[in-house]
Structure formats: C-alpha cells, structure tokens
Amino acid sequence: MINKFLLLSSAFLACSLYWVSCTSTTSHVDTETDVPETFMKLCASCHGEDLTGGIAQSLLDGSWQFGSGRSDIMRSIKFGYPHHGMPSWGAMLADAEIDSLVSFLMNEEARLGISKPSIPATLETQDYSVKVEEWADGLDIPWSIDFAGPNRALITERGGRLRIVEDGVLLPDSVAGIPKVQARGQGGLLDVAVDPNYDSEPWIYLAFSHGQGTVVEDGEELVPSMTSIVRGKIIDKTWSDHEVIFEAPYETYKTARWHFGSRIVFDPEGYLYFSIGDRGTSEDAQDIGKPNGKVHRIHRDGRIPRSNPFYGQSDVAQTIYSYGNRNPQGLAVHPETGHLWATEHGPLGGDELNLILPGRNYGWPVISYGINYNGAIITELTRKEGMEQPIFFWKPSIATCGLDFYRGDIFPKWKNRLLVGALKMEELQLLDIEKDRVMYRQTILKNAGRVRDVTTGPDGAIYVVLNRPGKVLRLSQ
C-alpha cells in the first residue's frame, strides 16, 4: 500500500492544508487521536478521502512495492522516493508522528471505515435548481469525455482504455487497438477530442503519455516519456487509420511521472491546440527549444502553421504557441471570441487562469503566486516585465483541471460562462467572464468527487467526469 505514497506524482498537493497550518518544522497533532485528521490534511487530496486514489493511486489495493513491514513503511514516509514524486517527510514530522501514521495505514479496519456522503439528487445554485444524475458508473480512473454525435460519448480511462457510451449505456468492451500508453503516476491515456467536422471527417484525437526505451537512475530502471498526440477513426469499435500528429524528440523525454498537461481543443479556424506540462523540469518551461511547459498549435493533420509565433526560427520547437506554463490541464475556446483560455496547476498556492496569446511567456518558474511543497520559496517574484499575469489565480490551490465554456440552452443564464473543475477541492466552479475579467464565481458542485473533466453535451446538459469515484455526472434541470 505504501507504494502509493511513492507514486505520489506531484502528490505534494496533498500537503497544502497541512503546511499552511504549520508554524514550525514539526506538526502539532495528537499522535494518539488525530492521525485520521492528519491523513486527511496530508494525503487525502491525492489518495482520496476514501483512500481509493486520485493524483496518487489507491491505498486499498494491497500492493506493497517497497516492503510491507512497519520499518519499510516508516522509511518510505521519512526518507521518500524522489523518482516516484514522493518527498521526504523526516524534516516535517517527528518519528512518533510518522509511527502513528504508519499504524493508521496498517489498520485495515480503520482505513476501510472512511466514507463520503452520497451524491445529492439536486443542487441549489444562485440561478437554478440543478438535477444530478449518475450518467455513467464503473469507470477506472476516467480522465476525459467528448461527444461524437447526440447519442454517443467517448471516455478515456487513464490505464489505457477508450470507452463508449451509446444511448446513455456504457458499453462493456473498450475500443480495440488503442495505442500503447505509459500508464505510470499521472501518465496514461489522457484526453480525447472529436474533430469539429466529425460528420464529414470522423477523426478522434487522443493525448497520452508515450514511453520510449529504458534508462537506469540510482539503480532503478525507468521509462522516459512525453505527451504525444495521435488521431484515428473508430470503425466497428476498433481504432483504425492511426496517425501520429505530434511526437516530441526522444532526447526531450523525461523519467518523471507527472505534469503531462495533455488537453486538446480546436478554435473556430480549425487549429488544434494541446498542452504539455513541464514534466517536473520547471526550467524547461522557459526554454523554447523544448516542448514541455508549453501550449502548442498545429493543423489537425499535424502540419505546423506558418503563422505560429516561432515558425521558421532555428533551435525552436515550432509548434509552440505559448510558454512558461507549469501544467495546463484545462483548455477551452470561448464560443464567441474564439480566444484560448487555460487553467494550470500551480505549486502550493497559485493555480492560474490564463488567456493564452501567441508567443507570450506566462512566467513559470520565474514568477509565481505559489511556494514549493516543502515550504521553500520558488521565486520572490509575482510579476516581471515581459511575462503575463494570470487573469485570475486561486490561493490556496484547488487543483484546477477540466475546463469548458457552457454552450447549451438548458441553463441560459450560464451561457458562455466558464466551468472549472477542481481535483483537490472536489468541486465545479462557474466563472462569469466579462471583457477578459472574472466578475464573480460560484461553486455549483461540491464533494461529489475529484473533477477531472467537464463539458457541455449536445443536449445542453453539463457532464462532469469524476476520476474518483469513477463516474460521470449529468447536470440538467
């Protein structure tokens, strides 16, 4: 079970509430009575309050990669495993506190006793009474949803399966022949997007973590990987006509298991935009010769637009549209203006909403409103000439993810308002944007689960992907 701490890719988000409350190098918890509360503050945001996982994986599946003994678990928490994204906790927790946390983790009855309230049948918002339906269930860490017609939806599962929902029914078999993905940490089969001209050009686009080869680091065999974009067609529930439309040079691949970005959207002119996170190497976000830490723009067949901001320049990744982006896991195009918007995960504090403009530098890691997950200062700067300010930022972080402008008719007051999903805070926010400013926001869904994606369906309902528990909710009237 403790290996899930080790696979904690960017799991430092789990610690945000804990660190904010700390005033010294050790915590102030009662080691006899407050360990479950400590777990909630320290770990639940990534492993889930029900321990079934999220950014990090489940603590209930019985797998003990680095030893199941008390001393093995104690060592893992105290010293960490950096290659798996797990930091050392020895400077933050006393040995007695770690020991109590280990006791809790090894107490299966206590762990299984953690439960969440049921999802409500209705929600009361400022504007509407919203009906909530569990539209699809039994999914294995779903990541993205898109619609290929009024009665057919496609859903990715991070482990590598593409699922189909037809006429409201989740089909038992996944699409055959999907390309192999590197499903480790935050990586796997991530976004799915349907071609805007699907009726005449039935292409389906996928973003996933692509692994190549192996390397040995500190005695451990690791697979370098990077975000890749492909397209294909689904014929008789089989992936066909496969085309790779973006694949980074192998020398840019990283062994880190986090920050893949991986959203795909299209603008009114038909350009395809996709995001790649910094892949754990923050300084690369400022290097326009490397693909990570960027938003990219290509034609739908993979060609590079001549109007891209760095087109024709030597030693530059010419697909780059913007740079200095930490880990954008939300992209959306405004239905009226055609402007590209992005949400990106900040460090501890400082999740951002950005209006993405060509050639602009969004600052990471030179400027930031957040600090490092161990409390260290990343940068003293929150602004610098030549670097863009976010339109809005969340502090504390909510772990922003899926993003969409509402485009339906069921909720007319919400037309063109921005739907923002949150993993850590388990909520769906609605932002009113006027002239590129956030005028106000409200939370319309809370504590149903970790919101990985959100989209407007062809019927005008709002579809919300919860990667834990593996469900899709449908919000309507």
Distance CA 134, CA 76 (A): 38
Backbone angles phi, psi at 65, to 5 degrees: -65, -35
In the chain, the largest separation of any two C-alpha atoms, in whole Å, equals: 64
In sequence order, the β-bridge partners of residue 189 are 208
Distance between terminal CA atoms of the chain?
A: 42
Backbone angles phi, psi at 429, to 5 degrees: -100, 155
Structural tokens at position 135: 């539209």
In sequence order, the β-bridge partners of residue 231 are 205, 243
CA gyration radius for the chain? 21
Return the ∠ at Cα 137 (arms to 132 and 139), rounded to 5°: 135
Peptide bond into 82 cis (omega under 30): no
Distance CA 60, CA 449 (A): 17
Counting Cα atoms < 13 Å in the Cβ hemisphere of 358 gives 12
Among residues 210, 259, 296, 345, the one annotated as catalytic is 259
Residue 332 is inside which H or E element, if any? strand 328-333
Q: Is 259 a catalytic residue?
A: yes
Distance CA 108, CA 4 (A): 15
Residue 37 CB neighbours (<10 A):
12
Which sequence positions are flagged as catalytic? Answer: 259
